[in-house]
Amino acid sequence: MIERTLVLVKPDGVARGLIGEIISRFEQRGLKIIGLKIIKSPESLIKKHYDFNDIAKRKGEFVWKKLIKGLTNQVVVAMVVEGIEAIPFVRKICGDTEPRAAPPGTIRGDFAHHGYAYADAKNIPVNNLVHASSGAKDAAREIKIWFKEDELITYKRADEAWHYGDNI
């Protein structure tokens, strides 16, 4: 099944010059970038993305406030990634949300290293470089927050037949 998902390169990934590396991780595996923008994220957008009722209920108000503070008015790269089973595949490429638990070979495992305890002690967000939608419902909701439908582009990659099995 062809899916679409949202990926954000968070401010720590932008500041460290990892935008191209992160995008290439998806493209090298046959996924398409069908929407891409770099923005300074306003608080209203971040609060829509990280819904208080959802995050606070699951992880607590403390975590929600750190997420909002860490992303508001910061440079973020937002992209819509499309491909076969894109949602779980993108999450696998990103690695565990807590960087210290992410295996080598994943974005977080290769480029981030601190954990929840350190972030809590310093009262900072976990610098885990990327956000990836957690499921189909979240992906649909999040894509609409960050992109208008006419900002998403349909195109064929040269290797698409190989990835999708159309050359057999």
Supply the residues annotated as catalytic: 131
End-to-end CA gap in the chain? 18
Cβ–Cβ under 8 Å, residues 143 and 81: no
The Cα–Cα gap between 164 and 61 comes to 42
- What are 50-55's contacts with CB under 8 Å, separation 24+? none
CB-neighbour burial class of residue 67 (10 A; exposed 0-12, middle 13-18, buried 19+): buried
For 9, the enclosing helix (H) or strand (E) is strand 2-9
